[in-house]
Structure 1
């Protein structure tokens, strides 16, 4: 399902950063492949009501899988942050953001008191634990006078998966989890641009009807088929 929101806005420049979760992208592609394989098999080879049930199930499930895996992204520009969550797109001028908060989830807190979750930057407790282990190893290497080795490409972007457009080498001694590093960079942008005149404005929120409408249609069709079965 392709929509205009799958592309960064025209105002973004090459210096702007796009944050996504590589694990969600990979998982979404694999899950879609399985769903479509099983669905089309039932659609073309099934008997009786099976093809109709398979069609209704795909209309319901495919948009939801896309919404929660392939769709989430955070676009960080010089003047604003655009958050693309499963069912909403939120445009936030830096001047309206009070804080970027990390706990069991990563969130944006606005000056009016509201908050928005960053689905594209999920918190990984396992990633934080691995970062602490890397920190401990780096400290041990430093105590022995060893120079930390360097790894290969860190994934999609400079943060081993959550970074901006453009890759790079990730030091083995990195002591922050990938999503935490991404949040650190967003905080730096907020601190630098929060008072800029061009970074002021209103918060806009748009519901993703292109995702919700097909899912609702599939749910209604599936309910009708099950009720009349």
Structure 2
């Protein structure tokens, strides 16, 4: 009896409105820290290639207008959309907006601390996530009855259809890296395609496997 009561209390806590901002804060902390890793060490960004390229243009030329405008616009649109449709698109709002847009705005403003310091990047991302999650919950609460998506809760992870084009890019990158990696990526992608799975995963696994075996005999 006590166990059932404890389980119910835990479920109520996990499904409460306060939990969502905490989850968004954790995600944003990781994403913002990933951008720090990319800028300082050349790897770690949680974004699509073309979005990171916008940030690279700012880092190389000093003009962050493209990255700031495009990514921040995505963030605002997705945050406003979330309470209406019951979905928070992590790719558009957090990965693009928090991972690229906000860092671009900070760098353009000459504020480099949150970007250059890993602990400060985690803290900054966490605070941003709390604000985003809180705004979404507040807007959802203020919505008149019947306007939100059939009363659904806010869910995370709407997905992005552009991921289907990542497989060929991985194969081309593997071929440029080495012939064994390219062969492995092609074979892995073909197998996953035959199994009706995303070819990107097969290309990555195939490239890692064949290239790893080839390195053992070099």
| TM-score normalized by the length of structure 2 | 0.30
Higher relative contact order (CA 8 A, sep 6+): 1
Q: Which has the higher strand share?
A: 1
Q: Which has the higher helix share?
A: 2
